[in-house]
């Protein structure tokens, strides 16, 4: 029964994955949470990032520091879409 439900939802799931990918790419292009892009975010948190990984989690948006910017934006988009607004 669960397999039939997943089969019926295959078009919606594909559309959902495409929308998540587009939103994560938009965040990457805009530079949201990108420490390499000059701006207020970099000016405020660059010193914290340079101290080492023990301080990295005090920087907002750096839960996914180890998987890269696009992967982090993908997971952040997914969390927001399911209702987890703790960003």
Confidence band for 72, pLDDT divided at 50, 70 and 90? confident
**Does residue 76 carry a pLDDT above 80?**
yes
Q: Where are the domains of the chain?
A: 2-81
pLDDT on residue 71: 85
pLDDT on residue 17: 94
Q: Are 71 and 64 in contact (CB under 8 A)?
A: yes
pLDDT per position as a tens digit, 15-61: 999 999 999 888 888 877 676 677 777 777 766 655 655 555 566 66
The answer to whether the pTM exceeds 0.75 is no
Query: What CA–CA distances, in Å, run from 66 to 5, 8, 27, 71?
Result: 35, 35, 18, 9
Count of all residues that appear for the chain in the document: 87
């Amino acid at each position: 029964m669960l397999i039939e439900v997943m089969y019926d939802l295959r078009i919606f799931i594909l559309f959902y994955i495409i929308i998540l990918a587009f939103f994560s790419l938009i965040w990457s292009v805009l530079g949201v949470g990108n420490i390499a892009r000059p701006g207020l975010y970099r000016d405020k948190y660059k010193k914290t990032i340079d101290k080492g990984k023990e301080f990295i989690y005090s920087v907002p948006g750096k839960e996914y520091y180890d998987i890269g910017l696009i992967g982090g934006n993908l997971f952040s988009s997914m969390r927001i879409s399911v209702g987890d607004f703790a960003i």
